[in-house]
Amino acid sequence: MTVIKGLEGIVATTSSISSIVDGVLTYRGYDIDDLAEHASFEETAFLLWFGNLPATAELEKLKRDLSDFAAIPEPLIAQMKLYPKDANTMAALRSAVSGLALYDEAADDMSRSANEIKAVKLQAQIPTIVAALARIRQGLEPIAPKPGFSIAENFLYMLRGEQPDMVSVKALDTGLVLHADHELNASTFAGRVTVATLSDIYSGVTSAIGALKGPLHGGANEAVMRMLEEIGSFENVEPYIRGKLARREKIMGFGHRVYKNGDPRAKHLMKMSRELGAMKGDTKLYDMSVKIEELITGQKGLKPNVDFYSASVYTQLGIDRELFTPIFAISRVSGWTAHILEQYEDNRIIRPRAEYTGLVEQKYVPVTER
């Protein structure tokens, strides 16, 4: 047996959803740069689920469906109010999404049409759950979604309780496009492994949320912000980073399993971070981030990944860092569900092997004699 730790370089499935070739990320053949510049998140989600960009009537229908499905069951809101206020937001999201299944009579209907509806439902309801969790944590009542708003606009509206400005909506929408899918990343793989047992789509998305939570994956964006807060000032960037490197600690938001010459999504977030800082007349977070990048790339040759500049982008949108990884989930649920639908279409249980390295030829000894 040849053991490939972390399954690096292993091709575990075919997929027609997204690809990373020579550092270029595409969704269904469309370059992420093109989509980040021109597509809305709703168009992107449609593209991931159905394989083509929507025509006007298709997009309007999807927006209507997303609006119609956005409310979450009252008993679920009541349960969310019982979660400890200081619970990890991703843990709370994982529990709430698992709970959604209990209120969907079609949860175990494995037909393609039922699963497509559930994909749209999950996409519609996860932003509502995240906004509700954020408000409940602050001792506030959740706000019901507003019909006719886009996902980005509705999320900010439900979070803040007021009509969001269009600059914030556009920035968040682009962020959602950039995070929507990423080939066989850890959380998507977790989702596919789960549904490959023919378990339901809610189980798949719950597994994916669990995998996204970790700081080596989606949790890195929150960790980046914690680092920026710890550093505190531009002057402290250099001593802080040098200290971390001397202690051989990882710098969150840098490095990638697949991209060795840079993550194509990072430049968009970097630009957004710069523009938001300039607009607010305070470029401190952006300047600190650029300095960190200079040091890490200079010393370690590592480039920022999608999580690095998203931290300063979201903070400049007035979003608490506990919501960064849940916002990643708001976007990535489109990709997770597209992959889950694809897995069901041509399924085989995913069951690799392990090389055994434990003890051998042990003989049972009664407990009283051990």
Catalytic residue numbers, as ranges: 256, 307
Q: How far is the CB of 228 from ligand ACO (least distance, A)?
A: 14
* Residue 190 interacts with ligand ACO (CB under 6 A): yes or no: no
Alpha helices for the chain (secondary structure H): 32-38, 41-50, 56-69, 74-82, 89-100, 112-137, 151-160, 166-179, 186-195, 201-212, 220-231, 237-246, 266-280, 284-300, 306-316, 324-345
Q: Does 270 bind ligand ACO (CB under 6 A)?
A: no
∠ CA 161-232-263, rounded to 5°: 75
CA torsion sign, 315 to 319 to 322 to 326? negative
Region binding ligand ACO by CB under 6 A among candidate stretches 37-45, 154-162, 266-274, 298-306: 298-306
CA distance 149 to 161: 14
d(CA 222, CA 245): 20
- For the CB of residue 97, give the shortest distance to ligand ACO in the complex, in Å: 19
Closer Cβ to ligand ACO, 173 or 183, answer by number:
183
242 binds ligand ACO (CB under 6 A): no
The interface region with ligand ACO, picked from 55-63, 305-313, 317-325, 361-369 by CB under 6 A, is 305-313
For the segment 198-237, give every residue that binds ligand ACO (CB under 6 A): 216-218, 220
Residue 132 or 295: the one with the smaller Cβ distance to ligand ACO is 295
Closest CA to 227 of 251, 248, 249: 251
Task: Determine if 256 is a binding residue for ligand ACO (CB under 6 A).
Answer: yes
255 binds ligand ACO (CB under 6 A): yes
CB of 304 to ligand ACO, least distance (A): 8
d(CA 20, CA 247): 33
Site for ligand ACO (CB under 6 A): which residue of 253, 264, 277, 326?
253
What whole-number distance in Å separates Cα of residue 220 and Cα of residue 214?
A: 7
Cβ 134 vs Cβ 352: under 8 Å: no
**Residue 88 beta carbon to ligand ACO: minimum distance, rounded to whole angstroms:** 17
Residue 72 in contact with ligand ACO, rule: CB under 6 A: no
The Cα 319–Cα 89 span in angstroms is 13
Token code pair at residue 81 = 């109010």
Q: Does 307 bind ligand ACO (CB under 6 A)?
A: yes
Q: Tokens 């001593």 label which residue?
A: 239
Q: Which of 208, 306, 329, 330 binds ligand ACO (CB under 6 A)?
A: 306
Least separation in angstroms between residue 310's CB and ligand ACO is: 9
Q: Which of 326, 342, 355, 267 is nearest to 97 (CA)?
A: 326
Return the number of the residue (217 or 268) whose C-beta is nearest ligand ACO: 217
Q: Which residue in 152, 252, 270, 313 binds ligand ACO (CB under 6 A)?
A: 252
Distances from the Cα of 113 to the Cαs of 50, 94, 118, 307, in angstroms? 12, 25, 9, 34
Instruction: List the one residue from 197, 239, 300, 318 that touches ligand ACO (CB under 6 A).
Output: 300
Q: How far is the CB of 27 from ligand ACO (least distance, A)?
A: 15
Contact between 137 and ligand ACO (CB under 6 A)?
no
- CA neighbor of 269 nearest in space, from 221, 318, 213, 323: 221
- Chain contacts with ligand ACO (rule: CB under 6 A): 6, 216-218, 220, 250-257, 300, 302, 305-307
